[in-house]
Amino acid sequence: MSAQEESNSKYAFLFPGQGSQTVGMGFDLYKASSLVKDVFEEVDDALGRKLSQIIFEGPEEDLRKTINAQPAIMATSIAAYRFVQASIKNVPDPIFLAGHSLGEFTSLVASGVLDLSETARLVQKRGELMQKACELRPGAMAAVLGLDAVTLSEISAQTGTYVSNINTENQIVISGEKKQVAMALDMSMARGARKVVPLKVAGAFHSGLMEPAREGLINAIAVMDFNEPIIPIVGNTTFQKLDTSEQVKDELVNQLCNCVNWKQSVDYMINNGVSSFIEFGPGKALTAMIKRINSDCKVFSVDSVQSADKLDL
């Protein structure tokens, strides 16, 4: 990148959501950096249990449980973020932070809204509440490829399902009760969907079926002392920047039962000057989405020492 291009580049930092977890994630960062060790140890201490052992050793079945997956992904994402901040020269300051669903909670740490221990406890509580909601109101989720949001909204209205994630223009996730989701998938194929993919999740996230978790999350947030964000967070449901702690609190509650509109969040950041994105955390799901949303953007993904070393900033 030329000096002129570098000076014109504005960055956003991104954090992934549930489903990106893999056993062993972050372990090479853990071995390479005492700062990263501190991250995992602080999360273990905050939760009063050895979550790091499940992260590094599994079994996968345990890591996949919502109560473990959510704080595990958050911890690994912050580990990657802090490793880069400490060990890579000339890391730019982002003008926005954003996270996909759970990743929005990770951004609380990077923006200074909550510290790592507070966020770990809040994320674990969110996971508990969502798991209970899944048991009270069992549901399913599925990705539909090749149909737009307007068409999927029509299908959802006809089948009693929900549009839960608009990841890109043609990658949209629906959720709801299992029979209704199956009906919606059949209808989607009949309307010309290229592919439908049932997702391996515990229930219907970002839908009305999560309503039983809402009050508990409101109460958990109410007893925490939120700081004003140092860096604006772009909200999943508002796709606008969140400048105040009250806006952040409202967003965290609203995204529980409402659609994560990732495409419009990314469009907002691009329209406000972002040309480069760095995804911190396991997997490369957000990087792949951004490439499909706007192929002109520069994208980087950091989930290991090797990927951090390859950053071309």
CATH of the domain at 165: 3.30.70.250
Residues 190 and 289 in one domain: no
Closest alpha carbon to 236 in 264, 274, 201, 215: 264
Residues 158 and 232 in one domain: no
Residue range(s) defining the domain that contains residue 189: 140-198
C-alpha to C-alpha distance for 162 and 180, rounded to whole angstroms: 10
Residues 105 and 157 in one domain: no
SS3 174: strand
Please report how many Cα atoms fall inside a 13 Å half-sphere around the Cα of residue 166, on the Cβ side.
Answer: 22
Residue where one domain finishes, among candidates 198, 223, 238: 198
Q: Which two tokens stand for residue 248?
A: 């952040």
Residues 218 and 303 in one domain: yes
Give me the number of domains the chain comprises: 2
Residue where one domain finishes, among candidates 167, 198, 229: 198
C-alpha to C-alpha distance for 151 and 34, rounded to whole angstroms: 50
Residues 148 and 131 in one domain: no
Please report how many Cα atoms fall inside a 13 Å half-sphere around the Cα of residue 74, on the Cβ side.
Answer: 34
C-alpha to C-alpha distance for 40 and 267, rounded to whole angstroms: 33
Residues 131 and 269 in one domain: yes
Q: 39 and 106 in contact (C-beta within 8 Å)?
A: no
Residues 105 and 233 in one domain: yes
C-alpha to C-alpha distance for 74 and 282, rounded to whole angstroms: 10
Dihedral angle at the C-alpha atoms of 68, 69, 71, 77, nearest 10 degrees? 150
Residues 7 and 117 in one domain: yes
Q: Which two tokens stand for residue 104?
A: 């929005």
pLDDT at 200: 84
164-188: pLDDT as tens digits = 999 999 999 999 999 999 999 999 9
Residues 131 and 238 in one domain: yes
Strands (E), the chain: 11-15, 96-99, 140-145, 162-168, 171-176, 195-198, 233-234, 241-242, 260-261, 276-280, 298-302
C-alpha to C-alpha distance for 303 and 2, rounded to whole angstroms: 26
Q: Which two tokens stand for residue 229?
A: 């964000």
Assign residue 249 the CATH number of its domain.
Answer: 3.40.366.10
How far CA 19 is from CA of 13, 46, 78, 87, 199, in Å, comes to 19, 23, 17, 28, 9
Q: How many angstroms from the chain centroid is the CA of residue 168? A: 15
Residues 34 and 118 in one domain: yes
| CA angle at 276 for the pair 272 and 282, rounded to the nearest 5° | 120
Instruction: Please identify every stretch of the chain with a pLDDT value under 70, giving residue numbers as ranges.
Output: 1-8
Residues 214 and 301 in one domain: yes
pLDDT at 205: 96
Residues in the chain, total: 313
Report whether the peptide linkage leading into residue 229 is cis, meaning its omega lies within 30 degrees of zero: no
Residue where one domain finishes, among candidates 198, 221, 240: 198
Residues labelled as active-site residues: 101, 206
Residues 20 and 91 in one domain: yes
